Amino acid sequence: MKEKHYTCIICPSGCEITAVLDGEKIVSITGNTCKRGEEYVKNELTCPMRTLTTTVCGFSGRPVAVRTADAIPKAKLFEAMAEVNAFRPSRPVRFGETLIADLAATGVPLIATASEEE
């Protein structure tokens, strides 16, 4: 049996949670003070997800802040960043605009969180 330790980031409590595993099977999860902490650890063990925040090279060549509209699988982050780094807009970027509709084949769009200065 193997133990994995997590600090829950779902709420401000920051529970120290321990998961006991038998191979890939979850035997127990302890230390959480709410159900959300248990779900957080289960997701971290089965399919960790992350929201990607970064910048793209804008139309003018200056960086523009962007993020994914939702979390994507952690395993897809490098693929997503390669796609972001290759992206070049055909016009100035506007706040809230979808820049890549299906980032790294995740079904999640990449959106601008700032407008490009003109």
pLDDT in tens, 60-111: 999 999 999 999 999 999 999 999 999 999 999 999 999 999 999 999 999 9
| Contact (CB, 8 A) for 26 and 56 | no
Per-residue b or e along 12-28, where b marks 16 or more CB atoms closer than 10 Å to that residue's CB: eeebebebeeeeeeeee
pTM for the whole structure: 0.82
The predicted structure's pLDDT at residue 16: 97
Domain edges within the chain: 2-46, 53-112
Cβ-proximal residues to 71 (8 Å cutoff; 6+ apart), any chain = 49, 50, 51, 108
More confident residue, 70 or 118: 70
| Contact (CB, 8 A) for 68 and 109 | yes
CA–CA separation, 102 and 2 (whole Å): 37
User: Any idea what DSSP says for residue 102?
Assistant: S
